[in-house]
Amino acid sequence: MTTTFETKTYKNFINNQWAEGSASETIESINPATKEIVGLVQKSTEADLNKAVESAHSAKKEWRRMGQAARGEILFKAANILEENLEEIAESMTREMGKTLPEAKGETARGIAILRYYAGEGMRKDGDVIPSSDKAALMFTKRTPLGVVGVITPWNFPVAIPIWKLAPALVYGNTVVFKPATEGAVTAAKVVECFAQAGFPAGVFNFITGSGSVVGQGLIDHPKLNAITFTGSEGVGQGVAKSAAARGIKFQLEMGGKNPVIVAKDANIDQAVEAVISGGFRSSGQKCTASSRVIVEEAVYDEFKEKLVLASEKITVGNGLQEGIWMGPCASESQFNTVKDYIEKGKQEGAALIHGGDVLTGGEYDHGFFIKPAIFEHVTTDMTIAQEEIFGPVIALLKASDLEEAIEIANNTKYGLSASIFTSNISSLLEFIDEIEAGLVRINAESAGVELQAPFGGMKASSTGSREQGEAAKEFYTAIKTVFVKGS
């Protein structure tokens, strides 16, 4: 049962006021299952961006002085308001980017939990006492906010990713300017409505929508910005790094992965199949931690492949608002076309498509961007589908003679975000932990997902090395002052 859903235009939120963009132009957000308009957001200009950044800049001193405990209390209020609106926000997410309603509810609940976690940071330590060689002195460290933080987020997790950036930035004393991807901006606006009711002082929390070339790049280049946190494509992330480094501001990037799953010969095959299906095809494969390459020891390859195909045949694809739908559409026409192109590329380069990969048509499928989950075999490590991030429901099967070769294949990529192994051998899992080049290592579990209290981030081209979530977020959103005190 769905709620009555109103299609409306969402404004920017700047200096505690909702405001139309100065150009009065809007951008449509389209339901990828039906092609209906979900809502409209502002196509903001450089002038709008300047207002948002100036607002955050003017508010940063008083927000810092408020104190961590008081800031945490406001985050608790935001979490409670978000919880009251969970159903509406989850439905908005399903309508806007195609994620099934149970997944959307789960993501929104995760956002609430993240807010409460960081609200609790308001009562935790913000420094350490350090012994001094001078016994008459006191020496300690103190965390201090960076100032104005720009937050640029993708469309695939329009609630969780913004919140795991916004919540630590705010509780540690920074003011923010939040720019979501336009494909997820209606859902983001509904989250912002909850933040707006929580009681942040004027200018602390600012929300602006628009094109990446104008608003996103303008935010990165703004002289009054002190730090930027970005999740998105590698190409855009490299541009963010260059711009931020040139200005000497702090930057944090998460840019995706080509995540491997190793199935060892002593694995629980049924468990591995279930995890690969979930990790590879949930959210239509549109996760940076999605299982993309599955490397199977040849002793169990045929058994695993047969069970994987059988399990994939049971997947129901459709509008995520419907009961019993396991996987929704690709999130946009652009992403739909990208996935189709990769599937064709796989065929052209000699991989064998053994399941799915076809565009679903007829009936309700004619109104959306639906693709049947695809499985390739006879994939070699130099093929495009084994090297580039597809961000869709496509799995590449690769065969390895033993664990050593499997790990070598797994590491043969420029990315290093997430990796998992299925094995019952302690020596094998310990070798995997030591040798795999990934920031998130999972044992007998799917590659996708991390608990909110744990550090999240990758190696190599997947990230800049800093970690999001958990206590590790403090390292990015604050600077350390070392204080030496001695009596006169």
What's the CATH number where 250 sits?
A: 3.40.605.10
Record the tokens describing residue 61, joined without a space. Answer: 């001193």
Q: Could you give the angle at the alpha carbon of 194 between the alpha carbons of 188 and 198, nearest 5°?
A: 140
CA distance 226 to 214: 19
Residue 458 lies in a domain: no
Decide which of 206 and 256 is more confident: 206
Q: Are 264 and 244 found together in one domain? A: no
Does residue 210 carry a pLDDT above 90?
Answer: yes
How many independent structural domains does the chain possess?
Answer: 2
Q: Are 95 and 233 found together in one domain? A: yes
Does residue 3 carry a pLDDT above 80?
Answer: no
**Residue for token pair 């209290």:** 453
Record the tokens describing residue 227, joined without a space. Answer: 């730090």
pTM: 0.96
CB atoms within 10 A of CB 270: 11
Residue 343 lies in a domain: yes
Q: Are 19 and 131 found together in one domain? A: yes
CATH number of 287's domain:
3.40.309.10
The pLDDT tens digits of the residues spanning 356-384 come to 999 999 999 999 999 999 999 999 999 99
Residue 1's pLDDT band (cuts 50, 70, 90):
very low
Q: Are 329 and 407 found together in one domain? A: yes
Residue 173's pLDDT band (cuts 50, 70, 90):
very high
Please, which residues bridge with residue 423 across strands?
A: none
Residue 456 lies in a domain: no
Q: What is the mean pLDDT of the chain?
A: 96
Residue 213 lies in a domain: yes
Residue 438 lies in a domain: yes
Q: Which of 91, 103, 183, 254 is catalytic?
A: 254
**Burial, 338: exposed, middle or buried (Cβ in 10 Å; 0-12, 13-18, 19+)?**
middle
CA distance 302 to 309: 11
CA distance 180 to 158: 8
Residue 35 lies in a domain: yes
- If phi > 0 it is left, if psi is from -120 to 50 it is alpha, else beta; for residue 321 that is alpha
Residue 136's pLDDT band (cuts 50, 70, 90):
very high
Q: Are 157 and 223 found together in one domain? A: yes
Please, which residues bridge with residue 259 across strands?
A: 291
Q: Could you give the angle at the alpha carbon of 95 between the alpha carbons of 92 and 96, nearest 5°?
A: 80
Where in the sequence is the domain holding 30, given as residue range(s)? 9-255+463-485
Q: Are 357 and 302 found together in one domain? A: yes
Three-state secondary-structure class, residue 50: helix
How, if at all, do strands 415-416 and 459-460 pair? Answer: antiparallel
Asked if 287 and 257 count as a contact pair (C-beta separation under 8 A), the reply is: no
First to last CA, the chain: 71
The pLDDT tens digits of the residues spanning 226-273 come to 999 999 999 999 999 999 999 999 999 999 899 999 999 999 999 999
Q: Are 432 and 471 found together in one domain? A: no
CA distance 456 to 161: 11
User: Known catalytic residue: 254?
Assistant: yes
Three-state secondary-structure class, residue 322: coil
Residue 3 lies in a domain: no
Q: Are 181 and 99 found together in one domain? A: yes
